[in-house]
């Protein structure tokens, strides 16, 4: 099984070299109207190594916040053009703050991927650590600006900002913030997007803000009804699809323009400050969320057993500790078929993340009995 997965990961690695997995199509969204037009290829920036040594370094640290499952990790991965943050279709994939680093020219953008903002009830329900809520506070305290990611596709929640988001913005009102309306690819109505912007930005909406400032012209304001579920101090609003990449280039250009003159915190070729072992464990846990039903994956504990890099190949093993033998059988499936599927999927994620061939073993254990795939 180890040999087959290694051969598969080598094949996938060669494929990713020919077709960059993060080469996404992006179109500029200067207004709320562009949601169905043909996409234009993303303009790739010059590599950091090509920068002018005489120019001054600049950097910006961005805390990315939002409720669970709004697409924060996917948003960061596609913005930095590298898989750094594990993703899944379920809530609470991110359980601690992750750092993603993107260096373009003389500017370094540092993104803090934070756990979804939750209530105390949600912490108990999903067996979250009590320091879960402190992770986003720590990230914001190291940030220059706050990015609020909001799911525009959810008809039940899109018309208001969650109370936990508003409480956070109020607590850190000294920091500038901007709104990211994500998943716009799921919307067909341009009018709906305009209405959403008006509603979520509270009693005023600046129209043509950047264009007006560029021309030194007064900015027109539209008065709308106040809502307790909105925020009036966003410096800007971006319409994006983190999944397809639409709108990310414009937002990235905005952040580069906001960068402060100062030395970089990280080397130009660094993508994250997380250890490889931590990334592997989080990648396994993320795929368990995808493959297992209901609350079961939240009760599992993943630990790294082995990690080594030999001849440009990552060899690693992860153990999944199960509370009962019944849950262990559910993870393994008939003839260990499901466990092999999970292992192959995680291997694919890690090849994309490390840019190297990966040999991965995932084992399960319950009451001293161990099963490996």
pLDDT of residue 220: 44
| Spatial distance between the Cα atoms of 340 and 325, rounded to a whole number of angstroms | 18
SS (H, E, C) 26-68: CCCCCCCCCCCCCCCECCCCCCHHHCCCCCCCEEEEEEEECCC
Is this model's pTM higher than 0.85 or not?
no
Q: Encode pLDDT of 310-333 as tens digits.
A: 999 999 999 999 999 999 999 999
Structure token digits, residue 187: 């919307």
Q: Encode pLDDT of 10-50 as tens digits.
A: 555 555 544 433 322 222 323 333 333 333 333 344 444 44
For the chain, what are the domain ranges? 58-205+228-261, 276-366
Apex 126 CA angle, 124 and 128, nearest 5: 70
| Residue whose C-alpha is closest to residue 281's, from 305, 304, 260 | 304
Alpha helices for the chain (secondary structure H):
2-18, 72-80, 120-125, 132-141, 163-171, 190-200, 209-214, 248-258, 276-291, 325-332, 337-354
| Ranges in the chain, pLDDT < 50 | 1-4, 17-50, 207-227
Q: Is 253 exposed, middle or buried (0-12, 13-18, 19+ CB in 10 A)?
A: middle
CATH superfamily of 58-205+228-261: P-loop containing nucleotide triphosphate hydrolases (3.40.50.300)
| 241 contacts 27 by C-beta, under 8 angstroms | no
SS (H, E, C) 227-293: CCCCCCCEEEEEECCCCCCCCHHHHHHHHHHHCEECCCCCCCCCCCCCCHHHHHHHHHHHHHHHHCC
Structure token digits, residue 340: 């092999």
| 162 contacts 216 by C-beta, under 8 angstroms | no
| 234 contacts 196 by C-beta, under 8 angstroms | no
pLDDT of residue 340: 95
Q: Which CATH class is domain 276-366?
A: alpha beta
**What per-residue string of b and e applies to 133-168 under the rule 16 or more CB within 10 Å gives b?**
bebbeebbeebbbbbbbbbbbeeeebbbbbebbbeb
pLDDT of residue 295: 76
| 188 contacts 35 by C-beta, under 8 angstroms | yes
């Amino acid at each position: 099984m180890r040999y087959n997965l290694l051969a598969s990961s080598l094949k996938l690695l060669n494929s990713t070299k020919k077709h960059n997995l993060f080469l996404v199509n992006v179109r500029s969204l200067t207004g709320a109207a562009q949601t169905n037009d043909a996409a234009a290829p993303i303009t790739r920036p010059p590599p950091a190594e090509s920068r002018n040594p005489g120019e001054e370094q600049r950097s910006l640290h961005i805390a990315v916040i939002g409720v669970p499952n709004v697409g924060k990790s996917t948003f960061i991965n596609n913005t930095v053009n590298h898989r750094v943050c594990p993703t899944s279709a379920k809530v609470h994939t991110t359980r601690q703050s992750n750092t993603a680093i993107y260096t373009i020219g003389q500017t370094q953008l540092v993104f803090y991927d934070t756990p979804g903002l939750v209530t105390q009830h949600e912490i108990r329900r999903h067996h979250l650590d009590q320091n879960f809520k402190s992770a986003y506070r720590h990230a914001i305290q190291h940030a220059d600006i706050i990015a609020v990611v909001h799911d525009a596709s959810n008809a039940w929640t899109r018309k208001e900002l969650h109370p936990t988001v508003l409480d956070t913005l109020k607590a850190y009102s000294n920091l500038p913030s901007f709104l990211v309306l994500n998943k716009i690819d799921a919307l067909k109505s341009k009018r709906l997007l305009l209405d959403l912007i008006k509603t979520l930005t509270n009693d005023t909406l600046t129209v043509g803000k950047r264009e007006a400032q560029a021309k030194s012209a007064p900015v027109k304001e539209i008065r709308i009804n106040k809502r307790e579920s909105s925020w009036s101090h966003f410096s800007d609003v971006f319409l994006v699809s983190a999944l397809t990449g639409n709108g990310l280039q414009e937002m990235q250009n905005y952040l580069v323009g906001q960068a402060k003159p100062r030395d970089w915190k990280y080397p130009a070729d660094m993508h994250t400050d997380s250890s490889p072992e931590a990334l592997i464990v989080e990648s396994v846990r993320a795929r368990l969320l995808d493959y297992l039903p209901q609350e079961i994956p939240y009760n599992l504990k993943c630990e790294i057993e082995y990690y080594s890099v030999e001849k440009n190949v990552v060899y690693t093993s992860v153990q999944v500790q199960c509370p009962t033998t019944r849950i262990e059988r559910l993870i393994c499936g008939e003839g260990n078929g499901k466990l092999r599927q999970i292992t192959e999927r995680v291997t694919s994620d890690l090849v994309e993340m490390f840019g190297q061939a990966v040999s991965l073993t995932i084992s399960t254990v319950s009451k001293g009995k161990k099963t490996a795939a």
